[in-house]
Amino acid sequence: MARVVVIGAGVAGLGAALTAAQTGVETILLERNDFLSGLCIWSGLHGGGPVLEEMRLVSSGSIRWHDSLKRYALFWEHDLPSAQDNLGDREESFAYDVMKADQASWEALEGTGVKAMLRSQVVDVEKEGNRLKAVVLANGTRVEADAFVDATGRAGLMKEWCETLGQGCGMCVLKCPLFGECISPAVKAGAADIYPEGHHQSGGPRFFQAVMVLPESVEPWLRDEMLAAKGVYWYRVPEEWLGKDVTSQWCSPHRPLPLPNGFVEEHFLINYTPWLKVHLNVPLHILRQLPGFRDAFPVTPLSPDGQTTFLKRITPNDNGLRVEGLANLFAAGERARTVSSMTPAMALGDLAGYNAARCAVGLEPIVLPDDTILGLFINVVKLNPGGGYNAFIPYKPDPNIRRPEHPAYRQRGLVTGDMSRDIALARERIERLGLVGLYQQRLV
């Protein structure tokens, strides 16, 4: 039987594995850690909108995971803000219990035939010409396949950020010293590992303005006010802090990007249970100077002088997500495009998994049409030139979200800005293009 191996069991890897399995190919999911869902145990907010309607209609495997995670939603009725890509569908956007992300992932895999292997760090690959033959695990085991998906993501590069630069990615929840660093099979196979041109002013990594703290470590008045706000609480920075230059207190030669305007006027907390996510780009010792945070205690270790670092490196690939120079390797999630939220990662995982399955049975990969949101995102919006756009559509613009939607969505008539109308349009075009059930077609 044709076999697909997916490396990395975050949201993109789960989507890739679930979609590949739907086609009938044997599917193996390798994860170096001892849990599934990757950084979903850190995120806690998931969005919907017309793109999710498209994904449902094409039978994306990751929708199975989305619906499983939805069982552990915490807040629905509140207009949930997002510091990532604000998709804003009240029926599909939710804050979830991060401690249930692993359980939700196992529930999604149940009965699908996907074989998930934990503590299976890929350390090398075997090639024959421009094709991968096998990946090699840290224990020496070879795992052969007809096609592969690289869904290793953008965190956990210990050699570069922990050992060489001493900064870390701040995602120590991934336990790299215990389970090994994140190694990309694409890079091992000789593919490029690049910062997309123009993605950031520095041409390098992006820095994310959030840290997880224990709810018991903030002062009771702040915790009570936040919970009374149904899990979303806007915290106003004291007036004397506004515009204050704190960059000299925390920047380093390896992290030279200053805060653009000192402190932003506001930041917010979201209760993900059992953690609080504080969206403010300052180190812990400065956070503790703000009212309510005197004893704030982080859930995971932080990099020495700031918050989390998103390396944002990708592996060059085409619109079918096939890695440049490698005939049977596909990139998913943040290995494929510069995204930083779950729904775009799901979309990329689904296409990578489906095309890997096609490749495994000797068929050519497909490219989604530009007159779908999914296709336009992958084919045109791509690497978000300049790093200034949301991956999808922010339906609830917020002064703290400074990335507008990409103009191509409206130019192509894919969105109007009205949620109900846009969902109806998504349904109409998927049906018109004959894409209903695309990813569920049996290939073997």
Domain range annotation of the chain = 3-197+311-440, 210-306
pLDDT at position 22: 97
DSSP secondary structure letters along 177-226: HHH-----HHHHTT---BPPTTSSTTSS-EEE--EEE-GGGS-HHHHHHH
Q: Is the pLDDT of residue 303 over 60?
A: no
How do beta strands 131-137 and 122-128 pair? antiparallel
- Cis preceding-peptide flag for 50 (omega within 30 of 0): no
Residue type, 312: K
Q: Based on the number of CB atoms within 10 Å of its own CB, is 149 exposed (0-12), middle (13-18) or buried (19 or more)?
A: buried
pLDDT at position 214: 85
**Residue 364 gets which letter from DSSP?**
P
Residue 357 tokens read as: 């399955």
pLDDT at position 256: 34
Q: Is the pLDDT of residue 358 over 90?
A: yes
Which phi and psi angles does 268 have, rounded to 5°? -135, 160
Tell me if 371 sits within 8 A of 414, measured CB to CB.
yes
Rounded Cα gap, residues 40 and 55, in angstroms: 19
CB atoms within 10 A of CB 164: 11
**C-alpha R_g of the chain:** 21
Q: Is the pLDDT of residue 438 over 90?
A: yes
- Assign residue 366 a region (left: φ > 0; alpha: ψ between -120 and 50; beta: otherwise): beta
When mean pLDDT is compared across 157-171, 195-209, 426-440, the lowest value belongs to 195-209
Torsion angle, CA of 252/254/255/258, rounded to 10 degrees?
60
Residue with tokens 């001493």: 166
Q: Based on the number of CB atoms within 10 Å of its own CB, is 221 exposed (0-12), middle (13-18) or buried (19 or more)?
A: exposed
* H or E element, residue 233: strand 232-236
Residue with tokens 């990329």: 348
Q: According to the per-residue pLDDT averaged within each range, which of 192-201, 206-215, 281-290, 319-328 is highest?
A: 319-328
Please identify, in words, the CATH class of the domain defined by 3-197+311-440. alpha beta
Residue 259 tokens read as: 């805060």
- Give me the mean pLDDT over the 32-59 stretch: 84
210-306 to CATH, choices 2.40.30, 3.30.70, 1.10.150, 3.40.50: 2.40.30
When mean pLDDT is compared across 17-26, 182-191, 225-234, the lowest value belongs to 225-234
Strand partners, 277: 212, 270
Residue 128 tokens read as: 């024959």
pLDDT at position 81: 47
Q: What pTM was computed for the model?
A: 0.86
Q: Is the pLDDT of residue 157 over 80?
A: no
When mean pLDDT is compared across 25-34, 366-375, 412-421, the lowest value belongs to 412-421
Model pLDDT for residues 9-44, shown as the tens digit of each residue: 999 999 999 999 999 999 999 999 999 998 887 666
Rounded Cα gap, residues 250 and 262, in angstroms: 12
Confidence of residue 385 (pLDDT cuts 50, 70, 90): very low
